[in-house]
Structure 1
Amino acid sequence: SLALAGPQTSGTAFSGTNSLTAQDAYGNVVTGFDASTNNVTVSSSLTGSITGLSGTNKLNSASDFVSGVANLTSLGLKYTGESGSGTFTFTPATGAPVSSSSLTINSGTATKLIITGTGTQTAGTSQTITITAKDA
């Protein structure tokens, strides 16, 4: 089963209670689950990258799951990319994938300002410009 707290912020490690529990077909916790022999790939319906785990976008270490539960917060799950509402899917190499319900990702901290104007400007005359703050 999968529990992801929301909202989260793009470019920042997930906060709150975020966990993935390995279960068998009957819903029993698989306490001996080992991600080093059954890698779990993480993907999102949003366009971006997933980092902070033992693999770039994977749980692939024997220590990722303790008694069948991966604490995604302490492991450092981080999504960096487009903001909005999307889902996250965890797919083991062997077994059934599990997807989150819709999760809101907010934009990250502004790191640059984009200034746009209207064509060629003449000194001493008024002009219209737009300044947009953008995250990474």
Structure 2
Amino acid sequence: MTHGHPELSDLLSRTAILVYGLAVAPRCRRQGIARALLTEAEDQARTTGCRLATLLHKPELAPFYQRLGYTTAHHVTIAMPHGAMGLTQQPPFMTAVKALHPDVHIGTVSGAPGPVVTGLLPGWDMPPNARFHDGQIIA
């Protein structure tokens, strides 16, 4: 994802939390445990300055994460000062993202292969007329 750019990896590790797995034993499901665990992780991330929560999940869990305020897709793009970085998951996995800071927004941009995260850091926005063409941002 950020191979060859250690400064970008370091920056993203301080501004985004990645939840690699969330599981509840089958006999304990439907009691709000997963919601409570994820909410606590998000709250802790906010206190350390994280602005975005990301997680990997199987497609059948998309409705659950959407109810918790996440946007789910196979491809999510993060807008950066002079371009964009894509987070692509191969089936059977998807990416879910949720803004943890009021300056972070998740929306659509014409031609983008999925949702676009803007405002992760100041200046990491897309011009209002931006669009994607052949994997590049055109402003």
Q: TM-score, normalised by structure 1?
A: 0.22
Task: Say which one has the larger Rg.
Answer: 1
Higher RCO by CA contacts (8 Å cutoff, separation 6 or greater): 1
More strand by proportion, 1 or 2?
A: 1
TM-score w.r.t. the length of structure 2 is 0.22
User: Structure 1 or 2: larger helix share?
Assistant: 2
